[in-house]
Amino acid sequence: MSETFGPELEARLTRYCAVATESDERSSTTPSTAAQLDLQRLLALELEEMGAAAVSLTENGFVFATIPATVAGGQPPVVALLAHVDTVAGIGSGPVKPRVHHKYDGSPITFPDDALLVLMPELNPYLATKIGDDIITASGGTLLGADDKAGVAIIMTLARHLLAHPEIPHGELRICFTPDEEIGTGIRHIDLERLSADFAYTLDGGDVGEIVYETFSADKATVTITGISTHPGAAKGKLVNALTLAARIVAALPEAQRTPETTDKRQGFIHLYKQEGTAASARLHFILRDFELDGLAGHAQLLRSACETVQLGEPRAHISVEIAEQYRNMRYWLEQDMRPVELAVQALKELGIEPLSEPIRGGTDGSQLTAMGVPTPNLFTGMQNIHSPLEWVSVQDMEKAVQVLLRLAQLWARA
């Protein structure tokens, strides 16, 4: 049986990307923004219309559905497929306007809403390999949102195809669309009993062939500085400027301390991503990343030491450091049972796709889900230049992802 998925994937991705779904780390609700529910309602309705079973949208913004098994006898493992619906905040403003560049000819891609933006194959080697593909971008005023609506479109296309072709042998599949992945909080609220899966995959990766089973381990650090405010005209000997102390803390980090812009491969880092405050009080927000727990603990100790040094120099201030766990390297659990990785590699090879298993300098919902007891490696979608107005994706790459999932579903039925 042969079916072309390209037109469906193009229609789904452009439709889903047009729905604004930014998450908000300042929010205390789940989902963090009501806008995410707009897309989740649409997805739940489409799943019902295509005949999926047990479709539900939970109060905290998760969509669940089931594709019933078509194999008779035996009980193959239940496999879940997940993608997140939220997009990262703070990249442009206004409505997302997807644009499709059919049969890309290799020339620079310009953006009507920002004349300064140009997507050039000379600076994007992967794009240079996609001559003749259908490339989807936004219009320049916002990011596209293929992270992770490409994953959503791929899973929805697979679900529609399997439900329309019950002759394809597969076990029971669970579908789950999650909120708030970009702020690292959504998956913590997943109902594992409702998911009820033995293994899972997130569709949240990049280049064709990517199968990720090693991620960063991650912590978040917040440094709070309380100074003493007074009128600047009479401040001598009285003012303790929290902003000045914040600058000293950053400067006190060792010169050899690595930051995101100076590291790659397996190097970890400390990243100051936000600072706020006044002379009276200030906060520094850091993320700490490393592939190994010892390295992660070392980053935390460096930050604490910098704060202690500044505190000793100004005892009238109060400086505190809070470190919160975000996620852990999924390798710690997956290396104990590599079946989901091995079957994904087999599916790729059977389709003539070279597996790529580089560790990723980030994390996915699968990082936390794996730690919860559901081994969840991450598969490619084709998305490129994520978190940028230059974001793009090839429809043909997405089509390959659907084909891999089809093969995987059949391999799991024999597992």
The backbone torsions φ and ψ at residue 226, rounded to the nearest 5 degrees and listed phi first, read -110, 115
Q: What is the 3-state secondary structure (H, E, C) of the chain?
A: CCCCCHHHHHHHHHHHHCCCCECCCCCCCCCCCCHHHHHHHHHHHHHHHHCCEEEEECCCCCEEEEECCCCCCCCCCCEEEEEECCECCCCECCCCCCEEECCCCCCCEECCCCCCCEECCCCCHHHHCCCCCCEEECCCCECCCHHHHHHHHHHHHHHHHHHHCCCCCCCCEEEEEECCCCCCCHHHHCCHHHHCCCEEEEEEECCCCEEECCECEEEEEEEEEECECCCHHHCCCCCECHHHHHHHHHHHCCCCCCCHHHCCCCCCEEEEEEEEECCCEEEEEEEEEECCHHHHHHHHHHHHHHHHHHHHHCCCCEEEEEEEEEECCCHHHHCCCCHHHHHHHHHHHHCCCCCECCCECCCCHHHHHHHCCCCCCEEECCCECCCCCCCEEEHHHHHHHHHHHHHHHHHHHCC
Q: What's the pLDDT score for residue 256?
A: 64
Q: Where in the chain is the domain with CATH 3.30.70.360?
A: 217-326
pLDDT value, residue 1: 44
Give the residues across from 240 on adjacent strands: 228
Helix pair 395-413, 6-17: axis angle to 10 deg? 110
Q: What is the pLDDT of residue 2?
A: 61
How many whole angstroms separate alpha carbon 127 and alpha carbon 101?
Answer: 12
Q: Where in the chain is the domain with CATH 3.40.630.10?
A: 6-215+329-413
For 310-367, write each residue's pLDDT tens digit: 999 999 999 999 999 989 999 999 999 999 999 999 999 999 999 999 898 988 899 9
Which residues, in sequence order, are bridge partners of residue 175?
A: 65, 81
CB atoms within 10 A of CB 102: 12
What is 6-215+329-413's CATH number? Answer: 3.40.630.10
pLDDT per position as a tens digit, 191-223: 999 999 999 999 999 999 999 999 999 999 999
- Report pLDDT for 181: 94
CATH class as words, domain 217-326: alpha beta
Tell me what pLDDT residue 257 has: 67
CA distance 349 to 195: 29
Residues annotated catalytic, as ranges: 86, 181
Q: 392 is written with which tokens?
A: 């793009």
Sites in the chain below the pLDDT cut of 50: 1
Looking up tokens 């390959």, which residue turns up? Answer: 400
